[in-house]
Amino acid sequence: MTNRREFIKQVAATGILSSLPNILLPQHKPDDKMIWAYLLHLSYNMWEDTVPLKYRDEAFQCTTCQEAMEWARGYRPNLTFDETLWDVLLKEMANIGINMVLIDLGDSIKYESHPNIAVKNAWTPEKLRSELAKMRKFGLEPIPKLNFSTTHDIWLGQYSRMVSTDIYYGVCRDLINEAIALFDKPRFFHLGMDEELSSYQKKLDYVVVRQNDLWWDDLYFFIEEVEKNGARPWIWSDYAWNKPDVFFRKMPKSVLQSNWYYGSGFDMNNLTEPNKTYLKLYNDLEAHGYDQLPTGSNYSNAENFGLTVDYCKKIIDPVRLYGFMIAPWIPTLLPCIERHKEAIDQVAEALKKYKS
């Protein structure tokens, strides 16, 4: 471990915040505009390392979004992505006021540092740069996401079976550096780090879970690599659902937090576990002074995103409320066009209500 990583660890553990470099402190929120973000997948290789038997025929054609979600959920050696839908969605987002797109890259790019990770038909770095330039012309700020949770790192290929080794650290460092360069030093870099528990890996053939200090050491490694490249680390916050005391003792304030809760009930008094814990984390993150970008979804119901905005607007100080994100968790495939449009419409409705 480097001296800087040890420093980050000690700062988080002791809670000492005075006389620290700005990058380790809560970051000053820009005054210009709220973030309205959309999570969009170039790669969908993050769920299972095998493919359900009925979908192993590569010639299978999905006709419904449900089929597309099931077909794409297992590991696919080809790019699971439709560029026509991508173009449609970018225009729709720009039209309604979405101003940020979090792009799940995974193995969808033929990285110069590690081209062996890429699936067939992966974008070249030049293709990605061209698309990012197009997004910026639409007023959309592109942000990279590489999920390093062991539950969602199938995209790393052979390296997902080398977690926490010197080889692994070298590959992850290279990928973070290259992605940040490709995105021309983005404001944020999403590291994922969600659902790293054995209970989430029941369908995986190869199970690996970091815990205790090893999980934190690796997180600090990722934070260091992101910060030294001038971006701000961003993660899913669900580690705090299970170990809140450890989370609030060890998580640096410099890390942007996205808690997520996809239910339709927002009355704490009427919620049962685990939903009560999921929702309450918004309150707890605010109480501990973390910057937040709450995340809703249309994955399970049509009300969640709007209700998430209403709830978090009331309980999070505007100084720490960076904005909101919707995460449909559906592949960028044409059979899912209506589900994507529904998600965009929900953001449009919430945005309009937020401004009124």
Domain ranges of the chain: 30-355
- The answer on pLDDT for 2 being more than 70 is no
Read off the amino acid at residue 155: W
Q: Give residue 60's pLDDT.
A: 85
Q: What is the pLDDT of residue 273?
A: 97
**Of 93, 111, 109, whose CA–CA distance to 101 is shortest?**
93
Which pLDDT value is given to residue 56?
Answer: 84
* Residue 12 pLDDT exceeds 70: no
Whether residue 144 has a cis bond before it, omega within 30° of 0: no
Length in residues, the chain: 356
CA distances from 260 to 106, 184, 195, 206, 308 (A): 21, 28, 12, 26, 9
pLDDT digit string, tens, across residues 280-336: 999 999 999 999 999 999 999 999 999 999 999 999 999 999 999 999 999 999 999
Distance, in Å, from the CA atom of 242 to the CA atom of 316, rounded to the nearest integer, reads 22
Residue 40: count other Cβ atoms within 10 Å of its Cβ: 25
User: What would the mean pLDDT of 136-163 be, rounded to a whole number?
Assistant: 98
Q: pLDDT confidence of 33, banded at 50, 70, 90? A: confident
- pLDDT tens digits for range 151-161: 999 999 999 99
Taking the C-alpha atoms of residue 209 and residue 204, their distance in angstroms, rounded to an integer, is 12
pLDDT higher than 70, residue 3: no
pLDDT band at 79 (very low <50, low <70, confident <90, very high): very high
- pLDDT, residue 206, reads 94
Residue 120: is its pLDDT beyond 80?
A: yes
| pLDDT for 54 | 80
pLDDT for 19: 37
Residue 25 pLDDT level (bands cut at 50, 70, 90) = low
> Residue 214 is inside which H or E element, if any?
helix 212-227
| Confidence category of residue 27, pLDDT binned at 50, 70, 90 | low
Which CATH number is 30-355 given? 3.20.20.80
Q: Which pLDDT band holds residue 21 (cuts at 50, 70, 90)?
A: very low
Provide the pLDDT for residue 57: 80
State the maximum Cα–Cα separation within the chain, in Å, rounded to a whole number.
Answer: 60
pLDDT in the model for residue 22? 44
pLDDT value for 28: 52
Instruction: Output Rg (C-alpha) for the chain, integer angstroms.
Output: 19
d(CA 150, CA 160): 7
Q: Write down the pLDDT at residue 50.
A: 86
Mean pLDDT of 87-103: 98
pLDDT at 4 over 80: no
For the chain, give the mean pLDDT.
93
**What's the pLDDT tens digit per position in 214-271?**
999 999 999 999 999 999 999 999 999 999 999 999 999 999 999 999 999 999 999 9
17, pLDDT greater than 70: no
- For a pLDDT cut of 70, what percent of the chain falls above it? 91
